[in-house]
Amino acid sequence: MRYDFASDNTAGMAPSALRGLVEANSGFAAGYGADEYSRKAADEIRKLLDVDADIRFMFTGTAANSIALSMLANPYEAVLAHHTAHVCTDETGAPGFFGHGVGLIGLPGYSGKIDDESLCAVLDEPVVGHRQPPAALTLTQATEYGTVYSFEEMDLLIRLAKGQGLGVHVDGARLANAAAAGFDPKALGRMGVDILSLGGCKAGAHGVEALVILNKSLSSRLDNRLKQAGQTASKGRLLAAPMGELIASGEWLSGARHANAMAQKLASGIEDDTPFVLAHPVESNTVFVRMPDESLTALRAKGFAAYAFDDGSVRFVCSWATKTEAVDELITVLGQLG
């Protein structure tokens, strides 16, 4: 393989995150998150979001999302999501598993953003005893197609949901990229988000995400819930420290800015120098391209990894570690495939 553009998960740890891991590995510390590194990392997240929140560090985004939704909906209720959201397409029923039957209702919307009229239509439906009524809304920022909700777009959806008594969760696996595109993470608290899954892995940490409980009334017996789900790390400092240092160093944001810039460079090159067209607006670190199967096969044969996405497009993802030369080479090869 020459270059991997299949996902930002394929990049290693950013320098600050690796430094945080090495530092936390020295000596001895209290277990299960009762250590100075975990406290520092939680404080960095509170500062980043400008909130007073309860924070726990988890092993995967799937667990963070699913446990969050289980805190907002009962087993006989459902969660509203864009139909392409990770919870709907890539988590193998985990929200229903952790929620003991919680359902998902997929909503339409252009390029991963929920359409507000569709949301209103579902919220206006009468509650009947033969199907699961919505109890929560989950929003993805940046979306599965790399688009970024503006403050006004997200605020409207949240106000509509809150007006019907629904809880609100945000899947922030790529919140860093949304922030690099101009979205203010501090707005989440002001908009009334109840729970956030804050991305660490895609931003340059190792396998860690943060569960951020902004509505602290939901925190009752949180540690019991996480322990039962196998999400309580005995050596919690080694889970939390890389994410804390990634944020404290500024690389959580600067790495995302670099990834976004590489995506913009790639998108411009595809439009100018290849026969292919973009499938979605490029607003963060992902580029979706319309290309035939034989072109994708030929691209892979030349050593470039890319991901065939659900809508028939091909996804290219840039990360904190993507190099300009790799993007230039990819554009050249794509041009030759035409």
Domain boundary among 220, 249, 278: 249
Do 296 and 164 belong to one domain?
Answer: no
Eight-state DSSP code of residue 106: E
pLDDT above 80 (res 45): yes
286 band by pLDDT with thresholds 50, 70 and 90: very high
Q: Are 61 and 88 in contact (CB under 8 A)?
A: no
Model pLDDT, residue 49: 98
pLDDT above 80 (res 288): yes
pLDDT in tens, 56-76: 999 999 999 999 999 999 999
pLDDT above 80 (res 158): yes
Do 40 and 180 belong to one domain?
Answer: yes
Q: Which amino acid is at 67?
A: I
Give the C-alpha separation, 140 to 154, whole Å: 10
Prior bond of 321 cis (ω within 30°): no
Mean pLDDT of 84-102: 96
Range of the domain at 241: 15-249
In angstroms, how far apart are the furthest CA atoms of the chain? 59
pLDDT above 80 (res 16): yes
pLDDT in tens, 124-150: 999 999 999 999 999 999 999 999 999
pLDDT above 80 (res 9): yes
State the angle between helix axes of 15-24 and 36-49 in degrees (0 to 180), rounded to the nearest 10.
150
pLDDT above 90 (res 25): yes
Give the C-alpha separation, 21 to 157, whole Å: 38
Eight-state DSSP code of residue 91: S
Model pLDDT, residue 145: 98
Mean pLDDT of 42-47: 98
Q: Residue 138 pairs with which residues in a beta bridge?
A: 169
Phi-psi region of 146 (alpha: psi -120 to 50; beta: other; left: phi over 0): left
Mean pLDDT of 6-25: 97
pLDDT above 90 (res 178): yes
Do 240 and 284 belong to one domain?
Answer: no
Do 66 and 192 belong to one domain?
Answer: yes
pLDDT in tens, 235-253: 999 999 999 999 999 999 9
How large a percentage of the chain has pLDDT more than 90?
Answer: 99
Those residues whose C-beta lies under 8 Å from the C-beta of residue 296, and which sit 6 or more positions away, are 306, 308, 314
pLDDT above 80 (res 79): yes
Domain boundary among 195, 221, 249: 249
pLDDT in tens, 206-221: 999 999 999 999 999 9
Give the C-alpha separation, 329 to 332, whole Å: 5
Model pLDDT, residue 338: 73
Do 222 and 268 belong to one domain?
Answer: no
Do 128 and 223 belong to one domain?
Answer: yes
Round the average pLDDT of the chain to a whole number and report it.
Answer: 97
Q: Calculate the CA dihedral of residues 2, 6, 10, 11 and round it to 10 degrees.
A: 70
Eight-state DSSP code of residue 132: P
Mean pLDDT of 171-182: 98
| CATH number, position 233 | 3.40.640.10
Domain boundary among 249, 268, 283: 249
- Ordered alpha helix ranges (H), the chain: 15-24, 36-49, 61-70, 86-89, 94-98, 116-123, 151-163, 175-180, 187-191, 222-228, 236-249, 251-273, 293-301, 324-337
pLDDT above 90 (res 233): yes
The b/e string for 160-194 (b: 16+ C-beta within 10 A; e otherwise) is: bbbeeebbbbbbbbbbbbbbbbebebeebbebebb
Give the C-alpha separation, 162 to 140, whole Å: 17
Model pLDDT, residue 173: 98
Do 244 and 258 belong to one domain?
Answer: no
pLDDT above 80 (res 5): yes
Instruction: Show the CA angle centred on residue 89, arms to residues 87 and 90, nearest 5°.
Output: 75
Do 68 and 107 belong to one domain?
Answer: yes
pLDDT above 90 (res 1): no
331 band by pLDDT with thresholds 50, 70 and 90: very high
Do 323 and 218 belong to one domain?
Answer: no
Work out how many domains the chain is built from and give that number. Answer: 2
Model pLDDT, residue 336: 95
How large a percentage of the chain has pLDDT more than 70?
Answer: 100
Do 22 and 118 belong to one domain?
Answer: yes
Do 262 and 188 belong to one domain?
Answer: no
Model pLDDT, residue 42: 98
Q: Are 52 and 164 in contact (CB under 8 A)?
A: no
Do 133 and 183 belong to one domain?
Answer: yes
pTM of the predicted model as reported, rounded to 2 decimal places? 0.97
Query: Rg of the Cα trace of the chain?
Result: 20
| Distances, alpha carbon 134 to alpha carbons 58, 122, 213, 259, 284, in Å | 26, 8, 20, 36, 30
2 band by pLDDT with thresholds 50, 70 and 90: confident
| CATH number, position 261 | 3.90.1150.10
